[in-house]
Amino acid sequence: MPIYFPGIANVSLAATVKRPIKTFELSFNMNRTVNGLTLPIKCYMMYGVFLGSCSYNGARLCQIMNDSLLENLG
């Protein structure tokens, strides 16, 4: 069943790092509720990007942000 989102979703993250870190991981958990039943949305690839309930390591997040900046700022 396709998932349609009628609009733009904005996600922001703020962090204060008080010591050097070597790597990090960020996990997104997405759920969809249908007729009162909450179901997890699995991680899947769409247009070369993983979407859904995915985990990203620091290197992958940096690559995604770099690609996004290049695409949006040219």
pLDDT value at residue 42: 92
Backbone angles phi, psi at 56, to 5 degrees: -125, 135
Domain ranges of the chain: 25-73
Which position has the token pair 């290197």?
59
Which position has the token pair 């790092």?
17
What element of type H or E holds 38? strand 37-40
| Report field, pTM of the whole predicted structure over 0.95 | no
pLDDT value at residue 35: 87
pLDDT tens track for 43-73: 988 877 788 899 988 888 888 878 876 776 6
